[in-house]
Amino acid sequence: MSSSKTVRKLQVVSPVPADIDIANSVEPLHISDIAKELNLSPNHYDLYGKYKAKVLLSVLDELEGSEDGYYVVVGGITPTPLGEGKSTTTVGLCQALGAFLDKKVVTCLRQPSQGPTFGIKGGAAGGGYSQVIPMDEFNLHLTGDIHAITAANNLLAAAIDTRVFHESTQSDKALLNRLCPPNKEGKRSFSDIMFRRLRKLGISKTRPEDLTPQEVKNFARLDIDPESITWRRVMDVNDRFLRKITVGQGPEEKGMVRETGFDISVASEIMAVLALTTSLADMRERLGRMVIGNSKAGDPVTADDLGVGGALTVLMKDAINPTLMQTLEGTPVLVHAGPFANIAHGNSSIVADKIALKLVGPGGLVVTEAGFGADIGTEKFMNIKCRYSHLTPQCAVIVATIRALKMHGGGPEVIAGKPLDRAYITENVALVEAGCVNLAKHVSNTKAYGVNVVVAVNMFSTDTEAELNAVRNAALVSGAYDAVICTHHAHGGKGAVDLGIAVQRACENVTQQLRFLYPLDVSIKEKIEAIARSYGASGVAYSDQAEKQIEMYSRQGFTGLPICMAKTQYSFSHNAAQKGAPSGFVLPIRDVRASIGAGFIYPLVGTMSTMPGLPTRPCFYDIDLDTSTGKVIGLS
């Protein structure tokens, strides 16, 4: 048992109570105690109440010369709509390492969106006896990062429509005069951010009055093509009626009506920027580089062209600091960023991982989670996140369940909210063995990056020994370093001790260097095709729209970016109904879009909803406040 002062012994009961009841039964330690265990002094963090703190980036500067700990990513097999417990496994593994194996460990997780919390999915703090606490704070406002992203995103949206409006009603000279108003002495000057646009245009003049009429036009008139605007407004609520809206209907907008829509806040490119940035200066540049659409001449228009990059950074200046929390067993957690795992890369932040790796030091472990199945989350972790972070993972965990493997073996459809078919709760070894083709494909894909792969079988009470053994054997045959049965949902860290030992050994015995799936200097299509082959596709079919976008991004100079494939998480292929490990299919690319500030191009494989809707009976029916104690009840 760990000698750490913050480690808390859990009193587990069976059957496992509701997540919120478990979370409410444990009194969290003051966050300063968790910080002290990581050797963080009070000047390294800002307190947000008793149980949360923002860790400041200055910690990285102080620890610059110190060695990193081991780096572990948790992915999963292709999931059922119920999810297979990646977050729970990530937390349980860390509780095992910190509370039972006496290791310095930090868990790095994404911040959940409030949309699913009040919608159909519930929260994302882990589950059972492997959770982040306080669970209600984790799943609700936390430290306001998503609200900051919402504010920044919508400021940019307002700036776009406002600029189009003012340009439509003013001459070039009038635009310049209003953009550069005279000071008290009657002199006009450029603001600092305007010099970014002047440099982009190749204009070296420093006084507005020295510009030629053509230079005035080029500088003052962005000439945004309304049809090309890709930037949408966001809010952190599932609201299907905002997927398509019309703006500009007020009488003062002079008929400047256009169709647009809302995305959920975590789908904003600003969230992806936050997750991939490496410093405050880097975030400033990325926010300024974000492309919102094109001019009528076909040139990309950026946030800095609109003069708003600096203001966006001001709104995001506190959000760049990760939030320190704790698990049920008192081990530290850094919660930061929460990009969509479809149209973005679905991983928590680089800065949180970097801080954590320095804090745990040599021999310590940092465990982070990659969204969705390993074909999406782990692939993007390796090819996008690790490229920008220059960090090298030693071990990848792949979470599997008997339930999901039976589905991949040909079992009946699994539908959220409906009772499981009998096939999933009675022994059927043949169905499990047939489904292990999915696990084997994830193992071989992940091993190709040069990491050791450990399979974690997240055990349910209905799983039998014969079924569990079948998975373990299949994992080892497919090349996994180890495969371990885990009961962390029911027993906390104690139920993941074997997994902790296996992960530690896998880290210590890694023999290869990180290998990427594709180099950055090949064409956009070559990168897309490399990823498609990793899914099992025999080729790629591009729509006319996709061809047009690839040609445009190539002409605009964006070919050097990594690819962030947007496809279903329910199959290796584009067809969610194709289970197991399909091969020989042609992957259709419907459209190709770009997050230039975040730093990736995302091809759309099928349709991706960026604004979820609420079901008939949302989770909010169960959520309330116990007004006598002030505790939140009913969160799942």
**What are the tokens at 268?**
């904003």
- What are the strands, taking DSSP E only, across 236-373? 245-247, 258-260, 262-264, 291-294, 300-302, 323-327, 332-335, 365-369
For 101, phi then psi, to 5°, come to -110, 10
In the structure, what pLDDT confidence band is assigned to residue 572 with cuts at 50, 70 and 90? very high
Dihedral angle of Cα 95, 101, 105, 107, to the nearest 10 degrees: -20
Strand partners, 262: 233
What pLDDT is recorded for position 120? Answer: 67
Task: Give the residue among 613, 628, 591, 580 at the shortest CA–CA distance from 264.
Answer: 613
pLDDT digits (tens, 9 = 90+) for 159-195: 999 999 999 999 999 999 999 999 989 899 999 999 9
Within its chain, how far is the Cα of 114 from the centroid?
14
Q: What is d(CA 167, CA 147) in angstroms, rounded to the nearest whole number?
A: 30
pLDDT digit string (tens) for 278-294? 999 999 999 999 999 99
For 620-633, how does the pLDDT look when each residue is reduced to its tens digit (9 = 90+)? Answer: 888 899 899 888 88
- List % helix, strand, coil for the chain (3-state, nearest 5): 40, 15, 45
Tell me what the mean pLDDT of segment 605-621 comes to. Answer: 85
Residue 608 has pLDDT above 90, yes or no: no
List the structure tokens of 43. Answer: 């000047």
Instruction: Name every residue whose Cβ is closer than 8 Å to that of residue 537 and which is 6 or more positions away in sequence.
Output: 573, 583, 584, 585, 586, 587
Nearest to 382 by CA among 518, 270, 506, 505: 518
Partners of residue 586 on adjacent β-strands? 539
What pLDDT, on a 0 to 100 scale, did the predictor assign at position 271? 97
3-class SS of residue 597: coil
How open is the CA angle 220-225-228, to the nearest 5 degrees? 130
For residue 541, the model assigns a pLDDT of 97
> Looking at the DSSP assignment, which residues form a beta bridge with residue 73?
368, 396
Q: What is the rounded CA–CA span in Å between residue 353 and residue 372?
A: 19
pLDDT in tens, 380-425: 999 999 999 999 999 999 999 999 999 999 999 998 878 999 999 9
Residue 1: the pLDDT is 44
Share of the chain above pLDDT 70, in %: 99
Domains of the chain, start order: 19-143+318-509 (3.40.50.300), 146-301 (3.30.1510.10), 524-604 (3.10.410.10)
d(Cα 312, Cα 325) in Å, to the nearest integer?
Answer: 27
223 vs 117: which has the higher pLDDT: 223
Name the burial class of residue 278, with classes exposed (0-12), middle (13-18) and buried (19+) by CB atoms within 10 angstroms of its CB. Answer: middle
Q: For residue 361, how far is the Cα from the chain centroid?
A: 25
> What was the pLDDT predicted at 3?
53
The one-character DSSP state at 514 is: -
Q: Using CA atoms in the order 341, 343, 348, 350, what is the torsion angle rounded to 10 degrees? A: 140
Spatial distance between the Cα atoms of 468 and 459, rounded to a whole number of angstroms: 8
Q: What is the dihedral of CA 170, 172, 177, 179, to 10 degrees?
A: 80
DSSP 8-state code for residue 412: P
- pLDDT, residue 418, reads 87
Angstrom distances, CA of residue 304 to CA of 217, 281, 308, 326, 599: 17, 14, 6, 38, 16
Q: What does pTM read for this prediction? A: 0.95
Dist. CA 112–CA 87, nearest whole Å? 11
Q: Does position 619 have pLDDT exceeding 90, yes or no?
A: no
Q: pLDDT digit string (tens) for 26-83?
A: 999 999 999 999 999 999 999 999 999 999 999 999 999 999 999 999 999 999 988 8
With a cut of 80, say whether residue 121 has pLDDT above it: no
Extract the tokens encoding 374. 């390993």
SS3 622: helix
Averaged pLDDT, 201-210: 96
